[in-house]
Structure 1
Amino acid sequence: MPSINRLALLLTTLLVSPGFAQRYEADWESISSYQVPEWYQDAKFGIWPHWGIYSVPAKRGDGFPAEWYGRGMHAVEKGPDIRPKKGQPETIMNDFYDSRGLEQAKHHRETYGPPEEFGYHRFADLWKAEKFDADEWAQLAVDSGAKFFCMMAQHHDSFSLYDSEHTEWDSVDKGPKRDLCREVKKAVYKKGLKFGVSNHMAWNATFFRFYHANYKHLPDRERLADLYSEGVVDDAYIDRWWKRTTESVDKLQPDLYYFDWGWDRGRLADEGYHQKFAAYYYNRAVEQGKGVHGAPGVVLCTKDHDDPPNCVTRDIERGRMGSIQKNVWQTDTSISIHSWGYAANDEYHSLDYLIETLVDVVSKNGVLMLNFGPRADGTIAPEYRDRLLGMGAWLQINGEAVYATRPFSIHRDGLDRGAFKVRYTRSKDNTTLYATTFEWPGERLTLKSLNHDAVDADRIGSIRLLGVESDLEWSQDHEGLHIRLPERPAYGSAYPVRLRFKGPLPSPTK
């Protein structure tokens, strides 16, 4: 009997050890057990900087954003009449003769010299980040109301913002000589926020198309190819991408991993790298103690909408879903209108627009990741800072209608046929409803979807405008629920009304 007990103990020990634990395999069926973490469903709002060596020139062109400077600086006014054939690299190629980068190319020649003499890679030594303070960035995130902070691992130019063992083109070996990602992670963790990274390297193979075609003669071509790539998605490129991508998971251990477009096509999509990476990331999260199999505690965001939405989190760039989604999703957009990285000549969305975007996204079961573009020295321009602080001030009063909410049975009131747009959210316990109107309706707000045919008036406990410490008078008829409003509150932008019910919420369908 003692030997049987020892055997049972041994088997139990083996089964709970990492080697015998369940693991995700690189196929969607295995990964389908994944559950999005509650922290992400509750967070609703995070911020994210586009920052890199492109922040040095900080110049956008007509149609080319500032972070594409390394592409636009090589633009020519007109390509050849006939597209060059393979084997003719000396012929200037202009990416299907796209001249959108001409303004950047002109600026580069006038400011730095011809691109064949002053290449994009030389900006790495000019980027110092001398005023960067990770603790200040983390405090700004808190003050903005963000619940997570996503840092860029590498952009399309493949320059890494952490200490990479696979390239010399990183912020530790070049430029700032600092591990920027680690500094930010440490700072935001101290503030109780989650930390994510974004990876934009999948497009690197063809991002520097001009360089590939025109500057093969450069004497330092071989060394620079690790930044610019060779212009083809071959086995060597796939291996380079995979090593850098998995390294960022292992070294930075992010709670959220975001892929920009570029990996949604070609070999990375066709050869199963989506499933392969998802399995790798989720397994590593379990090993790192972030969660368990089935609920690894991390979020993987991808723009490829062919990936199963129950296995990864779908992301829409500068756009939104049109209706409530069963699975949590994300939109990434920027405070700036034209660029993601800092550009001195950019334009910016209004605070009202940004708050309305957040409320609309959340009403459809989404999360907003909002970008800002720091200057090269690490300071943040007032055009970004003021709007982030404005978001935080609004959320300080009205966050109850955003954080830790879930979608209602409908996301908008009365199909928005009236004069005022309204978005609905609800509490997780399904007893409190929030109706946020994007414009101040005056003395009375009418919620058409909550008419007496859809909602029993006896079930309504109290109604209050957030930020006002008194209940509101209301009445109901076949046209809707009519709420008498106080004076317009000073916070502006959007106005959430809280409706507390006696028991579970009703479920109107329109």
Structure 2
Amino acid sequence: METKSTVYSLILLLCTLSFQASAQSESYKKNWKSLSKENAYNREPDWLKDAKFGIYLHWGVYSVPAYSYEWYSRHMFMESRKEYQYHKEHYGDPREFGYDKLVPLFRAEHFNAKEWVDLFQRAGAKFGGQVAEHHDGVAMWDSKITPWNVALMGPKRDVLGEYSRELKKHGMKVMTTFHHARLLQRYKNTERPDRPEFWDLYDSHFPYSEEMPTSSNNPMLRLLYGNVTPEEFYEPIWLGELKEVIDNYSPDIIYFDSWLNLIPEEYLYKFTQYFLEDAKKKNKEVAIFRKQEDLPLNVSMEILEKSRKQEIESRLWTTEETISTDSWCFTEDMELRKSEDLINVLIDVVSKNGVLMLNVSPRSDGIIPQEQQSILLNIGDWLKINGEAIYGTRPWYVFGEGPTSQPVGDFENHKEFMKLKYTADDVRYTTKGKTVYAITLGVPEAGKTMTFKSFKKKIKALKIENVSVIGSNQLVPWELTKEGLQVKVPIVQGNNAVVFKIECN
């Protein structure tokens, strides 16, 4: 009887969603410039300019197989993919054991929000976040819009609620990321391949196949696999879930992972209006991150993926990196980045007026593996000593100098960015007040005379009073010459970036 009641309730819910969408589909005037002006919206909050560094995570049902990467939920339905074979061997034929049957296996039995936030704060992060909903249609909060949520299924806990409350207790800002624009089935009534490959049916996460659960008309499965009409999806689900998270969890940052071009502008505008008006009522500064050109820059901020800018940008920008070399979610064979490389990425980003978001990957049980924790703590140890050269700084007149050239572009060149190795001769600059920080992206040889060449254009403008190395009590002999600022390198411990503090009058 309980199952029948649930199905009847879902049928009623879908009918209600469809009615609400059609009733609200009147023409909608979209004036993006006036929207930001009316809400006195500052797209670059001062707190974010000062924060520089945040940590978030990919964690959900897709973490259960711990195989391949976070698009497992899509690829398990494609017979040509390794995920299909893996799923068949470990769980059964996807026709019978669909992604929906993985949901109860996501138990998060060791999830402890306080332990997470304690770790992230020790790592030096000023804001924290999580994927609120990935492409897979499972909400990581207590949702009244979709039954496929972690409070009703799997862990039976309001994960986002516990996590966001802990972040706020620690004085950290909250970020929620949304990837659900691709959830809608857009290929139901179109010609499609019998056995889709990676790029086929790409604008929908779950490949529509009459042999698979992705095409089911069961009311429950329709909601999970996005097998609903546009009228049932855009306003009631896509927009409705965003409003629900804004109302109940009050995030400081909302991030979108591409594909907003698939959402009609009407709903993009309604979301932005709702978020900005809510922030104005609460007297708080919020930020919207988006990729590509999915929203106007007067109401949003550009975010890159596994890549960086070439020069100092006049607008604040962000980029995201993950702690592994490939997957964003936990996998058994994941290869991890080195902490010194991630520290250098942070320094490079900050020198160009950027903010770094670093992704970590808990296991499905909620444990962040010790190897990942060690990397985070190494970053935190460096920031504990050298944080004054990062937090609250602004770019100098030039971002840096050195022999290492950087790839051009965004995610399309992410593998080239991954290979990038800086040297102790690569320097990045930041500034705060009358102090300039020259940061070497490696440890220069003790006793060597280094020349910071960018100072040669500032000989007349700067009156240098003292040069020191942060974390060292050794004297640093220096001289301002026509070639630049010359310093004699003291003995420095460790193998991470070194900060020369140049105090000026």
TM-score, with length taken from structure 2: 0.82
Report deviation, 1:456.
3.4
Retained in 2: the 8 A contact 1:26–1:278? no
| Residue 314 (structure 2) pairs with residue 326 (structure 1) | yes
Query: Where does residue 432 of structure 1 map in the other structure?
Result: 435
Query: Where does residue 48 of structure 2 map in the other structure?
Result: 40
Report deviation, 1:152.
1.9
Query: Where does residue 350 of structure 2 map in the other structure?
Result: 362
Check 1:128–1:500 CA distance in 2 against 1; reply closer, same or farther (3 A cut). Answer: same
Note the 1:345-424 alignment, pairs <5 A: 345-413=333-401, 420-424=425-429
Report deviation, 1:217.
9.1
Flag structure 2 segments of 5+ consecutive residues without an equivalent.
Answer: 1-28, 185-202, 406-422
Retained in 1: the 8 A contact 2:33–2:298? no
Q: Deviations over 1:209-232 (max 9, x none)?
A: 434453269766332111111277
CA distance in 1, matches of 2:404, 2:321: 24
CA distance in 2, matches of 1:308, 1:244: 22
Aligned length: 436
Report deviation, 1:470.
4.0
Counterpart of 2:377 in 1: which secondary structure?
helix
Retained in 1: the 8 A contact 2:452–2:486? yes
Counterpart of 2:102 in 1: which secondary structure?
helix
Query: Where does residue 70 of structure 1 map in the other structure?
Result: 73
Retained in 2: the 8 A contact 1:25–1:31? no
CA distance in 2, matches of 1:165, 1:108: 30
Report deviation, 1:308.
3.5
Query: Where does residue 134 of structure 2 map in the other structure?
Result: 155
CA distance in 2, matches of 1:374, 1:416: 33
CA distance in 2, matches of 1:214, 1:141: 44
Counterpart of 1:407 in 2: which secondary structure?
strand
Counterpart of 1:166 in 2: which secondary structure?
coil
CA distance in 1, matches of 2:401, 2:215: 62
Check 1:473–1:236 CA distance in 2 against 1; reply closer, same or farther (3 A cut). Answer: same
Could you tell me which amino acid in structure 1 is paired with residue 479 of structure 2?
S
Q: Deviations over 1:318-365 (max 9, x none)?
A: 111111111111101101111101111111211121001100000111
Could you tell me which amino acid in structure 2 is paired with residue 53 of structure 1?
V
Could you tell me which amino acid in structure 2 is paired with residue 348 of structure 1?
L
445, 449, 469: which is aligned to 2:454? 449
Check 1:455–1:27 CA distance in 2 against 1; reply closer, same or farther (3 A cut). Answer: same
CA distance in 1, matches of 2:373, 2:402: 36
Counterpart of 1:300 in 2: which secondary structure?
strand
Check 1:445–1:272 CA distance in 2 against 1; reply closer, same or farther (3 A cut). Answer: farther
CA distance in 1, matches of 2:215, 2:487: 71
Note the 1:212-231 alignment, pairs <5 A: 212-215=209-212, 221-230=218-227
Query: Where does residue 503 of structure 2 map in the other structure?
Result: 500
Check 1:38–1:211 CA distance in 2 against 1; reply closer, same or farther (3 A cut). Answer: same
Query: Where does residue 278 of structure 1 map in the other structure?
Result: 272
Note the 1:13-412 alignment, pairs <5 A: 27-31=32-36, 33-35=40-42, 36-60=44-68, 66-77=69-80, 102-205=81-184, 206-215=203-212, 221-230=218-227, 234-239=230-235, 240-263=237-260, 265-268=261-264, 271-290=265-284, 297-305=285-293, 307-412=295-400
Q: Deviations over 1:126-160 (max 9, x none)?
A: 11111111100010111110000012211111201
Counterpart of 1:75 in 2: which secondary structure?
coil
Retained in 2: the 8 A contact 1:414–1:447? no
CA distance in 2, matches of 1:49, 1:177: 19
Report deviation, 1:309.
2.8
CA distance in 2, matches of 1:151, 1:130: 18
Retained in 1: the 8 A contact 2:30–2:266? no
Q: Deviations over 1:433-482 (max 9, x none)?
A: 0111112222222101112x532397001111111124411113222211
Could you tell me which amino acid in structure 1 is paired with residue 366 of structure 2?
G
Check 1:367–1:308 CA distance in 2 against 1; reply closer, same or farther (3 A cut). Answer: same
Could you tell me which amino acid in structure 2 is paired with residue 266 of structure 1?
L
Could you tell me which amino acid in structure 1 is paired with residue 279 of structure 2?
A
Which has the greater radius of gyration? Answer: 1
Retained in 2: the 8 A contact 1:416–1:422? no
Please, which moves more after superposition, 37-46 or 308-317? 308-317
Q: Deviations over 1:364-419 (max 9, x none)?
A: 11100100110011001123111111110110111111000011111013686897
Check 1:225–1:409 CA distance in 2 against 1; reply closer, same or farther (3 A cut). Answer: same
CA distance in 2, matches of 1:496, 1:345: 35
Q: Deviations over 1:69-88 (max 9, x none)?
A: 111111223xxxxxxxxxxx
Check 1:323–1:310 CA distance in 2 against 1; reply closer, same or farther (3 A cut). Answer: farther
Check 1:437–1:218 CA distance in 2 against 1; reply closer, same or farther (3 A cut). Answer: closer
CA distance in 1, matches of 2:84, 2:34: 48
Report deviation, 1:25.
7.6
Report deviation, 1:432.
0.6
Retained in 2: the 8 A contact 1:414–1:448? no
Check 1:153–1:445 CA distance in 2 against 1; reply closer, same or farther (3 A cut). Answer: same
Identity of aligned residues (%): 35
Counterpart of 1:411 in 2: which secondary structure?
strand
Check 1:114–1:141 CA distance in 2 against 1; reply closer, same or farther (3 A cut). Answer: same
Q: CA RMSD in A?
A: 2.1
CA distance in 2, matches of 1:165, 1:341: 26
Report deviation, 1:267.
3.6
Check 1:403–1:448 CA distance in 2 against 1; reply closer, same or farther (3 A cut). Answer: same
Report deviation, 1:26.
5.1
Check 1:177–1:367 CA distance in 2 against 1; reply closer, same or farther (3 A cut). Answer: same
Check 1:176–1:412 CA distance in 2 against 1; reply closer, same or farther (3 A cut). Answer: same
Check 1:122–1:320 CA distance in 2 against 1; reply closer, same or farther (3 A cut). Answer: same
Could you tell me which amino acid in structure 2 is paired with residue 288 of structure 1?
K
Check 1:197–1:458 CA distance in 2 against 1; reply closer, same or farther (3 A cut). Answer: closer
Counterpart of 1:434 in 2: which secondary structure?
strand
Query: Where does residue 481 of structure 2 map in the other structure?
Result: 477
Check 1:415–1:432 CA distance in 2 against 1; reply closer, same or farther (3 A cut). Answer: farther
Query: Where does residue 461 of structure 1 map in the other structure?
Result: 465
Counterpart of 1:145 in 2: which secondary structure?
coil
Retained in 2: the 8 A contact 1:462–1:471? no
Could you tell me which amino acid in structure 1 is paired with residue 234 of structure 2?
I
CA distance in 1, matches of 2:276, 2:461: 47
Retained in 2: the 8 A contact 1:414–1:449? no
